[in-house]
Amino acid sequence: MNKDELWDKCLLYIKDRIQEQAFETWFDEVIATNLDNEIITLQVPNQFHYEWLESKYRHLIDNALKENSQHPLIVNYSVVISDKSVDEIPKLISKTKPIPRGYQRKSQLNSRYIFDNFIEGKSNQFAKAAALSVADTPGQNPYNPLLIYSSPGLGKTHLLQAIGNKLINQNSDMRVVYLTSEKFMLDFISSIQKNQSTNFINSYRNVDMLLIDDVQFFQSKEQTQEQFFHLFNDLFQKGKQIVLTTDRHPSEMKGLKDRLISRFQSGLVVDIQPPDLETRIAILTKKAEDDGLEIPYDVTEFIAEAIVGDIRAMEGALVKLLALSSLRREDITMNLARQVLKNLLGENSYTDLSIDKIVKYVCRKMKISERQILGKSRTMEVALARQLAMFLSKELTSASLANIGIHIGGRDHSTVIHACKNIDKKAIEDNEFQKKIVVMKNEIAGKENA
Ligand code: ADP
Ligand code: MG
């Protein structure tokens, strides 16, 4: 294997394991420049980039190499002396002006993300409506800034870029900048290194729309927050539209200055919830359609049921299924789908059960409604049912704790851990309760296998 083949394989390995944005920011520009028996040399754009890789991704890179190389390798870095001036930093996107390659890859909006292929459901319709409105009348509506928040994989980046794409499509003179907060910080730091931090901020001041993804990354980055705060105010005063995304409600963000949090909340804050089963099926169907694929309905439903609370993961399963089918020259069948999911979700933990079904079962059994169990009620009865649903989901499905939490009323993984502990404790203390749980498990599993 030569250096490029090896590094390409490693990149695939890494890409599978980190967020798309992080991958683009930190790995897109890294290339292998040399490989011998002991050492692989990776070229990075600057010193900061190297330090970042070393501190955050060292293990991942090592593991990627271990996985793909026949013998142990040491990683060496070489840093490029860049001649790119900071003036270039604003990623002004316009259809008429060609943008240098490489540049384009990172900063240009991805044309794949448009409103047309964003499937609407109860879980995201408000966010989509707000996004559309902002794209149609940027800066001229009460939604400035618009802030969209959700757990990962539910469509924030898609909506954010769809806004930019729509605006540019309607008016190619519009200067739209899309970037992640991580990239913003990286650019800022590199401007400091070059003593050009004033240029850095000036370069953003003439944009018409600023789209900043994953703002939670600003947490504890005080200098970057400061810079962003001034930029924000400047653009806001000029009536320019700002759209932000984040992984939680701004009031729950730690390590952000109060004044920034209050700015973030001064426009419209909308969330995206995990999609229900019907929406998940619709999304998968649309993806398959767009790619010109025919997938039997039962397979689509099967995937949509097995993977909840993360559309990206669901798409990943579909992609793996297609890959396997073409590799083996087999049709896409339930059988093949089972194999893929087994592979993806782990051999032992895999079952056909979905959290949805468990929630429905518990509701029937405890005679409460789904709305109650997924809602905020804290009455003892509802709380117990909710904890049971979490516990059974943990026991009977391969879903992660985070996934279970997201699905059962948008709780976080620590709530799920607490629920499971509580049920365990109750079962130890109360023999009857223990028996009930065993019955429930059997009933759920039995029904599924029938
Ligand atoms: P986030 O930024 O919230 O982590 P993304 O926007 O990257 O999530 O979405 C993950 C994947 O799921 C993307 O491929 C996106 O196109 C897809 N996706 C999310 N929501 C929808 C939707 N409502 N309709 C179609 N595809 C969607
Ligand atoms: Mg995203």
How wide is the angle at C-alpha 87 spanned by C-alphas 83 and 88, nearest 5°?
A: 75
CA distance 245 to 231: 17
For ligand 1, is residue 124 a contact (CB within 6 Å)?
Answer: yes
Token pair 């969330």 is at which residue?
A: 271
pLDDT along the chain (450 residues), means of 10: 92 85 83 91 81 84 92 86 38 32 47 93 96 94 93 95 94 90 90 86 89 94 93 95 96 92 95 92 91 86 85 87 82 87 60 78 93 89 95 84 83 91 92 90 64
Please tell me the predicted confidence (pLDDT) of residue 166: 95
Please tell me the predicted confidence (pLDDT) of residue 106: 34
Please tell me the predicted confidence (pLDDT) of residue 23: 85
**170 phi/psi in degrees, rounded to 5:** -80, -30
For residue 213, the ligand 1 atom closest to its alpha carbon is 2
Atom 23 in ligand 1: residue holding the nearest Cα = 119
- Let me know: does 21 contact 180? Beta carbons within 8 Å: yes
Mutate to test the pocket of ligand 1, among 312, 314, 319, 403 (most ligand atoms within 8 A of CB): 312
The two structure tokens encoding residue 331: 């049709």
Atom 20 in ligand 1: residue holding the nearest Cα = 155
For ligand 1, is residue 311 a contact (CB within 6 Å)?
Answer: yes
What is the reported pTM? 0.62
The two structure tokens encoding residue 110: 């991805």
Please tell me the predicted confidence (pLDDT) of residue 320: 83
**Nearest to 88, CA basis, from 242, 208, 176, 199:** 199
For ligand 1, is residue 157 a contact (CB within 6 Å)?
Answer: yes
Q: Count other C-beta atoms under 10 Å from residue 101's C-beta.
A: 7
Q: Measure 151 CA to ligand 2 centroid, in angstroms.
A: 9
Q: Measure 39 CA to ligand 2 centroid, in angstroms.
A: 34
